[in-house]
Structures are given as C-alpha cells and as structure tokens.
C-alpha cells in the first residue's frame, strides 16, 4: 500500500478467493472482501483511498471493480462480455460432507440446466491438481481442458471435491495427505460421490472420473481401487511415483510429500503408484499428456497405458504436440474436448474406450 504500512494479497478461502490486508505493525490481518466470489489482481491508487481489482464467479466472467477503502463499498466498472448474458450459465453450488475421520470436506457441484430435484443424472467427478490446488468459484465458461458447459448441457452433474491436501483451508488441512496420497484423500473424494448419490442427484450406475496432474494421479488411483466408474480420463497423471522422481523437473517435490526418496522407501512408492495395481482395473481408461510436459513426462502415461493394454483394459493414449504441463493451444484443447462423446458413450453404454 502507498503508506508502506500494509500489504494486500489475494488468498483462497475455501472455494472463494478474497483480498486480504496484512499490517507490518502487528495489527490483525483483515479481509477487504469476504464474499463467495473470486477476487484478484488488486491495484491501489497513489493516495491509498481507492483500489481496483477483478471479480468473477461461476456465472459471470471477470470484470473490473472499484473499492472505496474507507467504506469497503464496491462498484462494478466494466461490462466487457455483455454477450454472455444471452447464453446458459452454470452455477457452482457449494456442497460439503464428512470425510472418513470426521474432517469436513467442501466441494462444488454443477447440475444440468433446468435440473429438477430428485431426478438422477449421470455424474462426472473431477479431481483438481496440486495436490494443493483448489476447486474454486471460477466462471465455468473459462474451463480449459474439460468443457464443463458441454457436459452440463448433455445432462451431466459435475462434482468438484476439495479433499485433504487442498489449499485454502489452512496449514493442517493442506498437510493432511503427506505420505498418504491415494489414502484418506481418496476416501474424502468417494464420500463426496456418495453424498451426491444420497441427495438423489447422481445415478450410481452412470459415473465417470477425470483429473489433471495430481487429479490424473488420483484418477489412475481411483480405477485401481473401485469399479464404480464406467469411464476414466487420466490427464497428465503421475502413475509411477518412483520413476517420476528420476524424470520430472522437480524431484524434490516427491521427497517433500513422501518424506523419503524411492531408494530409501521403495515399498511406499510401490504401494501408492497406480502402475503396480493395474491388475485391479476394469474401467475403460483414456490417457492424455502434453508432448513437451517436463513436470509429468509422457513416460508416466505410457507406463500405465502399456500396463492396461497387457491386462486387457480398454485404453488409448492422446499426446498433445508441443504442449507443456498445462495445454494452451485452442485447437488442441478442442481436441481434448472432442473426447467427450467417447466418454459419454462409455458412461451410458459401457463400451470400450474411445478417443
């Protein structure tokens, strides 16, 4: 801030993102915003009386807001996407449930347009990356690898869980999956699926699962632990934690989460890697990777793809040329979205993986 007495930063607060002010003199930290929206890119005027920032939520794209810092009053300044009001919006409903040891777990839920309570619909489970990422109240039309509006229009509900290990819930929650990837975090996620089924929303016979990075790890882990899903798409997934250490650009990341190197604790790495449990998989599973991904190299996908082939599980592998860990070319993102019809067919008919 202009007076050099405080700092303003953005921080995940559960499924929201708020602007936080911290003081150098020891005064208590306080929130400048506290709603369910996503607030970011704070900028203050020289006088320190007014600020501008961006705000979005699940139904509205980012627009510039002005805040009076004395009163905290917020005024919307821009309307850069008026055309969006002519299209369907997809509100993310905050949901919560209890994990296996009583821990409160949050998430977000999209239901199909015109959904009526009590009607069971197909469900897609999406696991975020990180694992310290967070599913947040972002505008749904800005989704990249996964085209949520297309699935919602086809009649799907989509569940976005924030299991233990997610950011935005404090240090203890974020560290709760250290040395336990695919353990209680898996149970947190499946408890969320059960909660949506218990509400009468999800059809337990028509479910699919997908995720990117750690979400890909969890997707590959899920299909080794349960056959409840009719289809799965593993995006840039870590399937062999041991070989990941020797091939990725951040080997210390694994060591920090697992508190050991694979040569020090090989059994742990085996126990928590989907590759070594591929014989349990029955779910048709596709794999997607960026061809230039240094964070999760394509070898991770090829290992699991080969294993699934050898055990007779329907599978395919899609390599996106030139793409890093986060695909960014629109044409190739459209190619990933093009996998949706194949996934839809699997969920409804249980057919072999299509791609």
Exactly one of 128, 277, 289, 325 is catalytic; which is it? 325
Angle of helix 214-225 relative to helix 184-198, nearest 10 degrees, comes to 70
Burial of 53 (0-12, 13-18, 19+ CB in 10 A): buried
d(CA 144, CA 233): 15
Token pair of 147 as six digits: 């085209």
Decide if 325 is catalytic.
yes
Closest C-alpha to 301, from 233, 352, 355: 233
Alpha carbon distances (Å) from 327 to 132, 236, 274, 305:
20, 10, 23, 20
Burial label for 251, CB within 10 Å (0-12, 13-18, 19+), is middle
Active-site annotation holder among 58, 136, 213, 220: 213
Tokens of 354: 């299509």
Q: Which residues are catalytic?
A: 213, 325
């Amino acid at each position: 801030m202009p007076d050099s007495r405080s700092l303003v930063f953005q921080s995940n607060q559960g499924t929201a993102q708020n602007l936080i002010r911290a003081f150098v003199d020891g005064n208590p930290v306080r929130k400048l915003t506290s709603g369910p929206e996503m607030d970011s890119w704070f900028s203050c005027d020289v006088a320190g009386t007014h600020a501008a920032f961006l705000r979005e939520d699940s139904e509205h794209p980012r627009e510039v807001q002005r805040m009076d810092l004395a009163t905290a009053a917020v005024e919307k300044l821009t309307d850069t996407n008026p055309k969006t009001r002519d299209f369907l919006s997809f509100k993310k409903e905050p949901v919560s449930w209890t994990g296996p040891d009583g821990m409160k777990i949050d998430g977000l839920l999209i239901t199909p347009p015109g959904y009526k309570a009590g009607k069971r619909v197909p469900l897609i489970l999406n696991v975020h990356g990180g694992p310290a990422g967070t599913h947040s109240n972002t505008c749904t039309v800005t989704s990249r690898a996964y085209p949520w509006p297309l699935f919602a229009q086809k009649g799907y509900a989509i569940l976005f869980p924030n299991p233990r290990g997610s950011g935005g819930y404090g240090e203890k929650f974020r560290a709760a999956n250290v040395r336990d990837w695919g353990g209680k975090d898996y149970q947190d996620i499946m408890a969320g699926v059960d909660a949506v089924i218990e509400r009468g929303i999800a059809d337990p016979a028509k479910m699919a699962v997908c995720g990117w990075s750690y979400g890909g790890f969890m997707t590959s882990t899920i299909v080794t632990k349960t056959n409840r899903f009719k289809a799965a798409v593993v995006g840039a997934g870590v399937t062999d934690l041991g070989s990941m250490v020797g091939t990725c650009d951040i080997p210390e990341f694994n060591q920090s989460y697992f508190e050991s190197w694979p040569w020090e604790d090989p059994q742990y790495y085996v126990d928590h890697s989907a590759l070594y449990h591929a014989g349990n998989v029955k779910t048709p599973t596709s794999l997607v990777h960026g061809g230039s991904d240094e964070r999760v190299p394509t070898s991770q996908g090829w290992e699991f793809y080969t294993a699934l082939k050898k055990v007779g599980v329907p599978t395919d592998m899609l390599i996106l040329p030139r793409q890093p860990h986060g695909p960014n070319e629109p044409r190739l993102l459209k190619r990933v979205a093009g996998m949706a019809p194949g996934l839809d067919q699997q969920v409804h008919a249980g057919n072999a993986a299509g791609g």
